[in-house]
Structure 1
Amino acid sequence: MALKTSRGASGRGPEQGVEKEARARLFRIRSAGGTDILSQGSMMVGAFWTSPVRNALIVTGGSIFLLIAAIAYGQLYLNRWNVPFYDALARRDFPAFLHQLLIFLGIAGSLLVLNVTQTWLNQMFKLKLREGLAGDLIGQWMQPGRAFRLANAGEIGVNPDQRLHEDARHLAEMTADLGIGLLQASILLISFVGVLWALSSGFVFHVWGYSFAIPGYMVWAAIFYAASASWLTWIVGRRLVTINADRYAREADLRFSLMRVNEHIDAIALARGEADEKRRLDLDLGAVLIAIRRIVLALTNLTWVTAGYGWFTIVAPILVAAPVYFSGGLTFGGLMMAVGAFTQVHTSLRWFVDNFGAIADWRATLLRVASFRQAVLQMDELSALDRRIAIEENGESRMTIDGLEIVSPEGSMKLRETHVEIGEGERVLIVGAPGAGKTLLFRALAGLWPWGAGRIGLPKGSDVVYMPRTPYFPPSSLRGALAYPLDAGRFSEDELQAALSRGGLDRLASSLDRVARWDRVLSEDEQQCLAFARLSLINPRWIVVDEALDGMEEEALERVLDILRNYLQEATVIHIGRRKTHDHVFSRVLHLEKNEAGEKLELPAQKYG
């Protein structure tokens, strides 16, 4: 995939517009693999083959196969039982009738035990499939940098939670149900074809003075009957695959909109924006309902075929076996045995008809999950584009920036200083006007935005801590949020309380074990104070901050600056912001500016399914 650049004027909107446009337009990536069911299926099988649950799946699947084979043998035995049972009824032989009932109880009891055991194994197979699939998707998604790049990859990166949770669950359950059902149908078909062939092997047709035999004609009748039903079902119901895929996408959009409203309900209520949000939610709900209506219409049309064949199946076996019975080639018990065998063979053959709606649903879900996994894997390819920023480790403990230029869909930005060296313990302020691309510079320094030119040299052997504009706290206890991403057990109670005190959060000293959404419990300034208190606890050697100090009130800002002066005095701090009011802390100032003669980022805009 080659990067395309075009000369032109850069965008002049605010920086928020740059990020919004980047998220909306950037990174529509091409498909590296096929989109057909075989390519997607082989990719998912490969994922399961390397999964920790592989052996459990093999053992459970093998056990299910053996159970189904045993059940098929029991059903064969039950089918043969039809002959003496119905013949006893025809003879009005009561003792033989009671004897056959006892035999039936033995057969049915054994089949009941096997069915219950198979149900348990079926559920365990679903459980292991879900474990393997969701674990693989989450593991691939959480590889360093992938989730961020995917979030900027257009439609495929929207609502990953839907694909990781609901789609993965649905695919695992449907794969187990359809796979086990197909296996059972196949084994029953193999078991009963021989019975049906033998029952119709000696029959001779007499038509207009001609006599001819059709070896195993009841088998061919069952095949023709099921094949015609399958063909009509495919013709009528094939649109269900794309319709179901669209329905799941619209459901995900509605779910995301509901979550967004819930996350920002306080701002919506203060702005009296409920009516506007209701209008937006109604639009998303309307899209879901339109998709469901299309499914309703398609399923209704499909029911004409499936239900029509279903009702005719009641008499079809008898009609097929009637010529043999009326010619005297079968007793009444033999007729019932033939009907049972025909029904089993036909039921196995029309598995496709009975499950077409579920197959279409499964195919749509496989499309979403497989395309998501494929897109996640391709996120690594985006770092291999022709024109990108080189990020390397220096041979000494210093950070260097040489000829840095960052490109985005809105244009290009660069540092005015073409060569920068930052040594240990320095405090450097990088300033830029609104719209200059400060957050993009922050992401470039972190290696998350590699598109552009130049070189960033990271200090040797030093882990750099990057602080985004809005700090992140996991939904955990306060001690977990304070130590994140390290294990809270590494720090004593006194160390944690001292860190809170440095951030002016003494009131929370007794709440270390309280679990809460700290991004909601604390004000914005308190969140920044907690984030810098966390830094003082971790004590990194290099810190890069994105605009965190710019919007703070004076009292909170003074606490943070006190942490930088007295508790992180040996750390190198680089703050990217829009003003120079921290000059009493930062000894150097660098300048980020628009590159009016620069290039704009253009990537292929192919859309994922």
Structure 2
Amino acid sequence: MRDAVPVSRQFFRDFAHLATPYWTEKGRWRPRLLTGALALLVVCQIGLVLRLNVWSADLFDALERRSTEHAMEQIGIFLLILCGTMAANMGHLAVRRHLQLDWRRWLTGRVIGRWMDASRHFQAGLIPGDHANPDGRIAEDIRVMTEAAVDLASTLFYCLLLLVTFVGILWSLSGWITVAGIAVPGHLVLLAFLYAGIGAVVAFVLGRPLVRTTDVRQTKEANFRYDLVRARESAEPIALARAEQAERGRLTAAFETIAFAWRDQSVGLARLIAFSSGYVALAAVFPILVGTPRFLEGALTLGRLMQSAQAFQQVTAALSWPVDNLPRIAEWRASVERVLALQEAVQVVTLEAARAGETAINMDRAPGPWLGVSDLWVAEPDGTALLNNLTLRVEPGEHVLVDGDPEAAAAFFRVVAGIWPWGYGRVDLPADALMVAIGRRMYLPRGTLRNALALPEAESNPGDEAIQAALTDVGLEGLGARIDQSEDWSEVLNGADLQRLAFARLLLLRPDWVVLGDATDALDPVSADALLRLVATRLPQTALVLIGQHPGSAETFNRRLTLERPKGGEVLLNEVYARRQAARAPKRRPLKVVDWLRQGYPADGPSTTHG
């Protein structure tokens, strides 16, 4: 247990570091006003609940006296309380949802800004750790994290105020009772705490087996969906084999496993809902039964008896907050962990990319018109050696092929392109000249082909004639009539056409330096060589470095450099290597008590304490 304390503190500290700048940054008045308004509305809700409790006593006292005048007066007061409650609840909902969306918008922009900056989104995907599927973490986990946090904080504040308010009322209404000759004050408060505690324990015992049956059912549901997807993806083989009957039988059998799991879950839910129904019903009657002797003795009026019953229900409802919200707390904690893991990965690669001096890759402007590297050592993302002591210098107009080990070539291309921070040495970029780096697939935003071929690097974009001429030169003349057609071109075009389109963009942009990474591997040898000759003819002063596999002839290049990957796993970056080893070690989950308690409360089960 001693080790769990710093883990939890670290969790809450990291969560606060990520989330609280929404309120604490300079000039953030809107979040503060929304939060203050939400707290004020919660206070109003508590005030209305308190007034309703007093109204209940006044009403029943009026009925006990058979006073028509006072009873009609209480009806008017109730209408005012009702209108106030409706207005407060509506305002609370509006402000709460506004705060949730605004916080989510701010946090989403913050996380995306850090993730989609200086190639961090690419680099983070290369290091080990629990940060896969960043799209889900940004779209779904941030939503759950912000919505659940506001909901939990709001309801906790409500229940704390409810508890503080109604414990005092219940204490004053309890009076004194004599137990074994001893006068005991506030007995209803003690009974409320005891009642809520027993309810939580019984619900935990009844709900514990339900967690297992719920997990089994979810597993069977997932298996059934997987079988359906597999059947869809294997549609042609199934049809050719005339195996529809066998596949239908397999899918039916898979569904029947869901039916068995459903029945087991239903039995567990029935037990839990039977207890929950009885618990809720008894909570309304129990304090009346306890207070009836005092009422019959004349120590309590009917109004005070009913008021104490309502106060008892409010206290037990407030005490049930941890039980009722355990699934929500577990869901929130899991989402926070996932967002923090993504943030940690981005911070790690940001730290590693910020290295400088002799232990870093230094990207500098060359003193003359050339592109090259000197004394370059490239490491894997885990810090081990990938390339050793590489030197290369490319002059204007040269065409150089760099091939060899595929992984080493890919890393070298990314180093020159400026998106690979692992290693050390010097990269000389051409001074005052336009350099373009294109990988295996050119980036094509969704939209028109004209916009996809837009040239932000140039002072002006080319006209229709220039675009159609470039498309014709690279063998894509069929696209000339579709340049204003909006499509997801990265999905519409095949790999070879995408690489042809990249060369068309080079012809339009006319850069001084071109670095290609596996940019011809989807083409046939004749087409690959033809495109390189086209660049040499149309852009004779442009230097081109193709790094990776080239299906054509090496004779189309002026020089060729073959990369070899060193053997033995030499460690180049000791700090990075140590960090990766630590990242692979299993991590303890914070707030383990939530997981333990959660085992008795299924997320899709009924409330075990109050309706």
Q: Identity percentage over the alignment? A: 30
| 2:476 matches 1:505 | yes
Higher mean displacement: 46-55 or 503-512: 46-55
For residue 14 of structure 1, what is the aligned residue in structure 2?
Answer: none
5 Å matches for 1:63-78? 63-78=37-52
Residue of 82, 103, 111 corresponding to 2:77: 103
- 2:374 maps to a residue whose letter is D
For residue 316 of structure 1, what is the aligned residue in structure 2?
Answer: 286
8 A Cα contact 2:520 2:551, kept in partner: no
- 1:374 maps to a residue whose letter is E
Residue of 156, 169, 190 corresponding to 1:195: 169
- Residue 489 (structure 1) shift: 8.2
For residue 133 of structure 2, what is the aligned residue in structure 1?
Answer: 159
| 2:351 matches 1:381 | yes
| 2:511 matches 1:540 | yes
Structure 2 distance, partners of 1:321, 1:428, is 94
Q: TM-score, normalised by structure 1?
A: 0.77
| 2:416 matches 1:430 | no
Structure 2 distance, partners of 1:492, 1:472, is 21
- Shift of the 66–156 alpha-carbon distance from structure 1 to 2, 3 Å rule, reads same
SS at match of 1:440: helix
| 2:100 matches 1:130 | no
| 2:304 matches 1:334 | yes
Higher mean displacement: 482-491 or 510-519: 482-491
- Residue 527 (structure 1) shift: 0.9
For residue 113 of structure 1, what is the aligned residue in structure 2?
Answer: 87
Residue of 321, 339, 344 corresponding to 1:351: 321
- 2:177 maps to a residue whose letter is F
Higher mean displacement: 480-489 or 251-260: 251-260
Structure 2 distance, partners of 1:162, 1:84, is 54
Structure 2 distance, partners of 1:332, 1:391, is 84
8 A Cα contact 1:237 1:302, kept in partner: yes
Higher mean displacement: 241-250 or 473-482: 241-250
For residue 191 of structure 2, what is the aligned residue in structure 1?
Answer: 221
Aligned residues: 563
- Shift of the 554–363 alpha-carbon distance from structure 1 to 2, 3 Å rule, reads closer
Structure 2 distance, partners of 1:243, 1:151, is 36
1:552-582 Cα offsets, whole Å, 9 max, x none, are 2356436522542244333321112345955
For residue 420 of structure 1, what is the aligned residue in structure 2?
Answer: 392
| 2:183 matches 1:212 | yes
8 A Cα contact 1:429 1:576, kept in partner: yes
SS at match of 2:98: helix
Residue of 585, 603, 609 corresponding to 1:606: 585
Higher mean displacement: 339-348 or 312-321: 312-321
Structure 1 distance, partners of 2:23, 2:102, is 13
5 Å matches for 1:260-339? 309-322=279-292, 324-339=294-309
- 1:425 maps to a residue whose letter is G
SS at match of 1:315: helix
| 2:113 matches 1:139 | yes
8 A Cα contact 2:528 2:552, kept in partner: no
Structure 1 distance, partners of 2:31, 2:322, is 25
| 2:486 matches 1:515 | yes
For residue 560 of structure 1, what is the aligned residue in structure 2?
Answer: 531
For residue 149 of structure 1, what is the aligned residue in structure 2?
Answer: 123
8 A Cα contact 1:400 1:420, kept in partner: yes
Structure 1 distance, partners of 2:49, 2:332, is 29
Structure 1 distance, partners of 2:387, 2:364, is 21
Structure 2 distance, partners of 1:260, 1:55, is 52
Structure 2 distance, partners of 1:562, 1:515, is 31
Structure 2 distance, partners of 1:252, 1:140, is 34
Structure 1 distance, partners of 2:27, 2:103, is 8
- Residue 79 (structure 1) shift: 1.4
Structure 2: runs of 5 or more not aligned: 1-5, 590-611
Structure 2 distance, partners of 1:173, 1:296, is 30
Residue of 344, 360, 363 corresponding to 1:392: 363
8 A Cα contact 2:521 2:551, kept in partner: no
8 A Cα contact 2:374 2:390, kept in partner: yes
| 2:561 matches 1:590 | yes
SS at match of 1:483: coil
For residue 156 of structure 2, what is the aligned residue in structure 1?
Answer: 182
Higher mean displacement: 546-555 or 471-480: 546-555
Structure 2 distance, partners of 1:401, 1:271, is 56
8 A Cα contact 2:115 2:121, kept in partner: yes
CA-atom RMSD, angstroms? Answer: 4.8
- 2:504 maps to a residue whose letter is A
Structure 2 distance, partners of 1:429, 1:267, is 42
Structure 1: runs of 5 or more not aligned: 1-31
8 A Cα contact 1:226 1:346, kept in partner: yes
8 A Cα contact 1:168 1:369, kept in partner: yes
SS at match of 2:299: coil
Structure 2 distance, partners of 1:242, 1:143, is 43
Structure 2 distance, partners of 1:255, 1:194, is 54
Structure 2 distance, partners of 1:153, 1:248, is 31
Structure 1 distance, partners of 2:265, 2:344, is 27
8 A Cα contact 1:389 1:453, kept in partner: yes
For residue 35 of structure 2, what is the aligned residue in structure 1?
Answer: 61
- Residue 591 (structure 1) shift: 2.1
Residue of 450, 453, 456 corresponding to 1:479: 450
- Residue 108 (structure 1) shift: 0.8
For residue 378 of structure 2, what is the aligned residue in structure 1?
Answer: 406
- 1:590 maps to a residue whose letter is L
1:242-279 Cα offsets, whole Å, 9 max, x none, are 999999999999999999999x999999999x99xx9x
Structure 2 distance, partners of 1:361, 1:448, is 35
- Residue 339 (structure 1) shift: 1.4
Residue of 322, 334, 355 corresponding to 1:364: 334
8 A Cα contact 1:40 1:367, kept in partner: no
SS at match of 1:548: coil
Higher mean displacement: 41-50 or 586-595: 41-50
SS at match of 2:564: strand
8 A Cα contact 1:431 1:577, kept in partner: yes
For residue 10 of structure 1, what is the aligned residue in structure 2?
Answer: none
Higher mean displacement: 526-535 or 464-473: 464-473
- 1:161 maps to a residue whose letter is D
- Residue 460 (structure 1) shift: 3.7
SS at match of 2:70: helix
- Residue 377 (structure 1) shift: 2.1
Larger relative CO (CA 8 A, sep 6+): 1 or 2?
Answer: 1
SS at match of 1:594: coil
Structure 1 distance, partners of 2:427, 2:224, is 41
